[in-house]
Structure 1
Amino acid sequence: MTIHKEGYTTIALTILLIFVLNAVVDYKYYDITWLRWFIYIFSAALFIIVLQFFRNPSRTFSSGENLVICPADGKVVVIEETTEGEYFKDKRLQVSIFMSPVNVHINRNPISGVVKFFKYHPGKYLAAWNPKSSTENERTTTVVEHKNGQSILFRQIAGALARRIVWYVKEGDKVVQTEQFGFIKFGSRVDVFLPIGTKVNVELNQVVKGGITTLAELS
């Protein structure tokens, strides 16, 4: 397991905070044993929590010409037909994955193809499970066209804790299935919009792994 590059600055600031906090306690409150031990334990716990947010575990990825691979770790919270109003403006099959703070927060391309559309939207920070988060929160929208002519849309959505979405794609890019397309810090959500009639291979409340779980199969 390695640490993702998006965590370097946050981890460095956390170490600095821990150093300053412990130095102050050791200098001013050296005679209060319980307080010193509380700060030591708190510091260790904080460092471990921040470290695990940015972990990048080694994985053997799934692949398949007509497979849609899960773009994120988390739990499936939505499987439903809905109207996608930003790009397709028609009925689509939506599958949403909620990423809790303990999940790996790397986002991976669900299919290979060409990026036909990309847009970043600043916005609110509603809880990621709130239905309005899809249209009101900070988010990105990416549309990739498969070589068979079908397109899927996937959307990074910031949650109540997440304040920064990172993306590595732009319109015109050729992307490869399971390679990284972005990262969301802390809690968040990823929505995937598939053509109606697509075979979905996951169920509600199923725990999924980014780059590993087969989300659906294109016809």
Structure 2
Amino acid sequence: MSVSMLSTFVKPMHKEGIKFVAIFAAVTLVLFLIADFLGWIGVGLTVWCYYFFRDPKRSIPVREGLIVSPADGVVSLIEKATPPEELGCGTEPLTRVSVFMNVFNCHVNRAPVAGTIKAMAYRPGKFFNAALDKASSDNERNSLCIEMADGRELVVVQIAGLVARRILGFVQKGQTLRTGERFGLIRFGSRLDVYLPEGVKPMVALGQTMVAGETVLADLKSDEAQRTAREE
């Protein structure tokens, strides 16, 4: 197997996953002592755990004005909504694009735009299925307001899901981010909401598969109408 083929299947793992993989591996050894078939189930779960915490390199578009997806997953909602009140970003409804991550997606979150973190707010909550609309208002969440170079603001929200029990943030208020820079991680199934600046239309459609840091979600310099798509 060539190095290029190997890199297709074997991805770097985020350091947050090391202890979980170690626990899964230790349990697997115990399961092998009980019965071989249980041990092989443990092997499968250990591989899944490693795969969950993978942190692959991404090719980040560098053209100014592009907003990229903050998460791997599927666009589950596109609608008007008010940003989380705890951020203090106003009460005007903005276009919200939700990206749902299942337990097989990469869960490392990346900054949608370059800018400075103007505000951050964590709010505890419930753990409804992250694909549901009410997850945005009722679930545990961590919100960031990013101020861009032109003064406009973009809000991105990490939302815990049905089996997610920990939202991790790697950044702090006042920190400057580059587009596509890692800013957090959510364990085991969740969702990311992006609130676009007023007048900016999403360049993605419901059901579209997203790649964090790579898929262009919107373009600040474009006046193109909101995109639609067909399923094939």
Aligned to 2:5: none
Aligned length: 208
Q: What CA deviation, in whole Å up to 9, does each residue of 1:60-115 have, x standing for no partner?
A: 22222111011000000111122335132112010000001100000000111110
* Structure 1 match to 2:74: 75
Deviations 1:174-217 (A, max 9, x none): 11110100001111000000123203111110001001000001
Quick one: which of 28, 39, 44 aligns to 1:18?
28
User: 5 Å matches for 1:185-200?
Assistant: 185-200=187-202
Distance 2:197 2:113 in 1: 14
Identify the structure with the greater strand proportion.
1
Partner of 2:40: 41
Worse overlay, 86-95 or 173-182:
86-95
- % identical aligned pairs: 38
The aligned residue for residue 165 of structure 1 is 167
Q: Which residue in 1 is equivalent to 2:224?
A: none
The correspondence for 2:95, drawn from 73, 93, 96, is 93
Q: Distance in 2 between matches of 1:122 and 1:142?
A: 15
Deviations, residues 5-50 of structure 1 (Å, cap 9, x unaligned) = 1101111111121122223x1xxxxxxxxxx232132112111111
CA contact (8 A) 1:117 1:142 kept: yes
Q: Which amino acid aligns with 1:211?
A: G
Contact 1:140 1:155 in 2 (8 A): yes
Please say which of residues 82-91 and 143-152 is displaced more in the overlay. 82-91
Shift in Å at residue 139 of structure 1? Answer: 0.8
SS at match of 1:22: helix
SS of 1:90's equivalent in the other structure is: coil
User: Aligned-pair distance for 1:133?
Assistant: 1.0
Q: Which residue of 1 aligns with 2:184?
A: 182
Q: Which amino acid aligns with 1:80?
A: E
TM-score, normalised on structure 2?
0.86
Q: Tell me which amino acid in the other structure corresponds to 2:55.
A: N
Q: Which has the larger radius of gyration?
A: 1
Distance 1:179 1:74 in 2: 17
Any conservation in 2 of the 1:79–1:93 contact (CA below 8 Å)?
Answer: yes
Aligned to 1:130, the other structure's residue is in SS state coil
| Paired residues of 1:63 and 1:69 also in contact (CA < 8 A) | no
Q: Which runs of 5+ in 1 are unaligned?
A: 26-35
Which residue number corresponds to residue 115 of structure 2? Answer: 113
Residue equivalent to 1:33: none
The alignment yields a C-alpha RMSD, in angstroms, of: 1.2
Greater than 3 Å deviation, 4+ residue runs: none
Distance 1:199 1:137 in 2: 26
For the residues of structure 2 that align with 1:64 and 1:143, how far apart are their CA atoms? 21
Match in the other structure for 1:51: 50
**Larger displacement relative to structure 2 (137-146 or 127-136):** 127-136
Assess if the C-alpha contact under 8 Å between 2:110 and 2:182 holds in 1.
yes
Distance of 1:58 and 1:171 partners within structure 2:
25
The match for 1:129 is 131
Structure 2 gaps of 5+ residues are: 1-10, 222-232
